C-alpha cells in the first residue's frame, strides 16, 4: 500500500497519515461516522482498472473516519494518497508537491454547514492552479452549494454518504482530459438540438447542466429572448432519469388568468359551463416527468400563491373538486425578466422565487459568444439546405463578415430565421450579403445597437467584470465596486455568479 502523507509528519512505524490509523491496526475497523451522522463502512478493495497508479490525490476532510475509509479505498487507484484534516495547509502543500486531483470537503467548522469554507478554498486553489481538478465532497443537504462550486470551477461533486464506485468514477473522470472522455458521435446537422459551441461560458453551462440533470432539483433558466431556453429545458429532461416520461411545456404568457387553474390543475365534469367531462391539467399530464413553465415572469401576482401552494404540497385540486391529487414532477422554469428586481418591486413573490430557483442556469446572448455565430449559422445552413432540397451551400466571405458583425438582438432565433430566409432566396452555392437581408446597422459599431439593459443587468455585468478583473479576490473586487464584502457576497448569490 502506498504511503499516505499528512503535511510533513509521518507515523514512525508505518509512514502513514497521523490522522489515519495504521493499516496493521485496522484489522477490525469499527464503523466510522460523519460528523453529520452518516455511517461510513470501510470499503472492500476494488481492483485496479483504467486509472493508473502513477497519479496522486489530495483528500481534505476534517473527519478522521472519512479519511480512514478513503485512504483504504483510494490506495488501489493512486500511487500517492495525501490526507489533510484541515484546509489551512492546502496551498503550501500544493506548492511543494503537485497532485492530479483534489477531493475537498465543503464544511470544516463544527456546527457550521454554510459551505463557505469549501467555496473559499476552492477559489483559492483555482486561482493558483487553474487547471487542477477539484471534486467537492458535500452532504445531501448542500446540493445548491455544490452547484455553486461548479460555477466557480469545481470539476464535479460527490454526495455523502457516497457510493464507492461512483466516487472512483468521478475522480477518474476528473483526472481525464475532457476531450478524451466518451467520444461523441459525429454531428448529424440537426438544428433542433442544443449547440454548446466552444465558448468558455457555454462549456461551463454544459457541465452544470449535466450535473443538475441527474437530480430532481427545480431549475430556473434565464436569458434573453431567442437564446434557447426551451431547447435547454429539453436537453435537461432528455438527460434526466425522467426522460421516458412526458415533458409538458406551458407558455405562462399565453394562458389567460381566468383559465390558469383549469389549465394547470384540470377540472371535473360540471365544474363550469361546457365542462362536460373530467379533464386533467398540465401538472397531471406531466406526472412522473418534467413540467416546463416558460415565461414564468408573466404570471400575475395573485396567481403566484396558487402555484406556490401546489409546488409546496406536491398536490393539486381540480376545479370543481375537493379531492387533492398527488403529483410527482420535476419543475423547470424560464424567463427573460429579472425576477429579483421584480421581487424588489413586489411584482413577484420572493418565496416562489426561492422555490423555483434551486439551481440557476443563465444562457448568454449570442453577442456574448461570437465565436459560435458562424458554426451555428453553418449548422442552420446545412439543415435548411437539406430541408428545401438545395445543393451544398456556404456563405460568401462578405456574408461571413456581415454575420460576424451583426449584433443579433434576437439571438439564435434571429440567426436561424435569417439563414432559413437566405436558403429560400439563394440561387447559387454561395449565400450573398443581400440574401441575408440584414440592415446596414450590422456593419456599424455594435455597442450603438445593443438592446437597452435593465439596471439589474447592468449591475450584474459590473459585478462580473470586477470579479474577473480582480481574479476572484472578493475584497479587492468589493473595494473597486465601492461596496462592502458582505454586499458583494449578497450580489454574487443574487445573480448566480
Q: What is the pLDDT of residues 170-202, one digit of tens each?
A: 888 888 765 444 443 333 334 457 888 888 889
pLDDT tens digits, 421-461 = 888 887 778 898 888 888 644 444 344 444 566 777 788 88
- What average pLDDT does the segment 355-372 reach? 94
Q: What is the pLDDT of residue 51?
A: 46
Please give the CATH topology (third level) of the domain spanning 4-180: Rossmann fold (3.40.50)
**Under a CB-based contact definition with an 8 Å cutoff, are residues 317 and 265 in contact?**
yes
Which H/E stretch holds residue 64? helix 64-74
CB 9 within 8 A of CB 18: yes
Q: Which CATH class is domain 366-449?
A: mainly alpha
Reading phi first (left if > 0) and then psi (alpha if -120 to 50, else beta), residue 250 is in beta
CATH of domain 242-357: 3.40.50.300
* Pairing, β 56-60 against β 394-395: unpaired
Q: Which single residue is written with the C-alpha cell 459551505?
A: 115
> Which position has the higher pLDDT, 25 or 225?
225
Helices and strands: H and E segment counts in the chain: 19, 19
Rounded CA separation 350/364 (Å): 24
Q: What is the pTM of this model?
A: 0.57
Closest among 200, 89, 152, 127 to 473, alpha carbons compared: 127
pLDDT, tens only, 133-166 = 999 887 755 566 767 777 788 888 887 778 888 8
Q: Are 413 and 226 in contact (CB under 8 A)?
A: yes
> Could you say which DSSP state residue 137 is in?
E
For CATH 1.10.10, the residue range(s) in the chain are 455-495
Start-end of CATH 3.40.50.300 domains in the chain: 242-357
Using CA atoms, how far residue 169 sits from 121, 165, 181, 259, 407, in Å, is 23, 6, 12, 49, 43
Q: What is the pLDDT of residue 485?
A: 77
What's the fold here for domain 455-495?
Answer: Arc Repressor Mutant, subunit A (1.10.10)
Count other Cβ atoms within 10 Å, centred on residue 405. 17
Query: Which segments of the chain belong to CATH 1.10.8.60?
Result: 366-449
Q: Cell for 50?
A: 483504467
Amino acid at each position: 500500500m502506498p504511503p499516505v502523507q499528512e503535511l510533513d509528519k509521518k507515523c514512525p512505524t508505518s509512514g502513514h497519515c497521523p490522522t489515519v490509523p495504521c493499516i496493521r491496526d485496522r484489522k477490525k475497523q469499527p464503523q466510522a461516522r460523519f460528523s453529520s451522522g452518516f455511517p461510513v463502512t470501510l470499503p472492500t478493495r476494488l481492483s485496479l482498472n483504467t486509472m493508473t497508479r502513477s497519479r496522486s490525490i489530495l483528500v481534505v476532510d476534517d473527519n478522521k473516519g472519512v479519511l480512514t475509509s478513503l485512504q483504504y479505498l483510494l490506495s488501489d487507484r493512486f500511487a500517492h494518497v495525501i490526507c489533510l484534516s484541515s484546509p489551512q495547509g492546502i496551498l503550501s502543500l500544493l506548492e511543494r508537491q503537485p497532485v492530479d486531483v483534489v477531493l475537498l470537503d465543503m464544511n470544516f467548522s463544527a456546527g457550521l454547514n454554510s459551505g463557505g469554507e469549501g467555496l473559499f478554498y476552492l477559489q483559492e486553489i483555482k486561482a493558483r492552479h487553474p487547471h487542477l481538478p477539484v471534486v467537492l465532497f458535500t452532504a445531501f443537504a448542500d446540493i445548491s452549494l455544490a452547484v455553486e462550486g461548479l460555477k466557480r470551477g469545481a470539476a464535479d461533486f460527490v454526495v455523502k454518504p457516497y457510493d464507492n464506485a461512483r466516487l472512483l468514477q468521478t475522480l477518474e473522470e476528473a483526472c481525464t482530459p475532457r476531450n478524451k472522455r466518451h467520444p461523441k458521435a459525429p454531428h448529424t446537422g440537426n438544428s433542433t438540438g442544443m449547440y454548446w459551441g466552444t465558448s468558455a461560458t457555454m462549456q461551463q453551462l454544459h457541465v452544470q447542466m449535466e450535473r443538475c440533470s441527474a437530480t430532481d432539483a427545480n431549475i430556473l433558466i434565464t436569458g434573453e429572448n431567442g437564446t434557447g431556453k426551451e431547447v435547454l429545458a429539453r436537453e435537461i429532461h432528455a438527460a434526466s432519469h425522467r426522460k421516458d416520461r412526458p415533458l409538458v411545456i406551458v407558455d405562462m404568457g399565453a394562458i389567460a388568468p381566468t383559465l390558469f387553474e383549469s389549465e394547470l390543475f384540470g377540472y371535473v365534469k360540471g365544474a363550469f359551463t361546457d365542462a362536460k367531462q373530467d379533464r386533467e391539467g398540465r401538472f397531471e399530464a406531466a406526472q412522473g416527468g418534467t413540467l416546463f413553465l416558460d415565461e414564468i415572469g408573466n404570471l400575475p401576482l395573485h396567481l403566484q400563491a396558487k402555484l406556490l401552494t401546489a409546488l409546496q404540497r406536491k398536490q393539486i385540486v381540480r376545479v370543481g373538486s375537493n379531492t387533492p391529487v398527488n403529483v410527482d414532477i420535476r419543475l423547470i422554469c424560464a424567463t427573460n425578466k429579472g425576477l429579483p428586481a421584480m421581487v424588489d418591486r413586489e411584482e413577484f413573490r420572493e418565496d416562489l422565487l426561492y422555490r423555483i430557483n434551486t439551481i440557476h442556469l443563465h444562457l448568454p446572448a449570442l453577442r456574448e459568444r461570437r465565436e459560435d455565430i458562424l458554426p451555428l449559422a453553418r449548422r442552420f445552413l446545412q439543415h435548411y439546405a437539406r430541408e428545401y432540397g438545395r445543393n451544398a451551400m456556404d456563405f460568401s466571405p462578405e456574408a461571413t463578415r456581415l454575420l460576424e458583425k451583426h449584433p443579433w438582438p434576437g439571438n439564435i432565433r434571429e440567426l436561424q430565421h435569417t439563414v432559413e430566409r437566405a436558403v429560400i432566396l439563394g440561387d447559387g452555392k454561395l449565400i450573398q450579403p443581400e440574401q441575408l437581408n440584414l440592415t446596414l446597422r450590422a456593419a456599424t459599431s455594435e455597442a450603438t445597437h445593443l438592446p437597452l439593459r435593465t439596471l439589474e443587468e447592468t449591475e450584474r455585468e459590473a459585478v462580473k467584470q470586477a470579479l474577473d478583473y480582480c481574479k476572484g479576490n472578493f475584497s479587492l473586487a468589493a473595494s473597486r465596486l465601492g461596496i462592502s464584502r458582505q454586499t458583494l457576497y449578497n450580489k454574487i448569490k443574487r445573480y448566480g455568479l
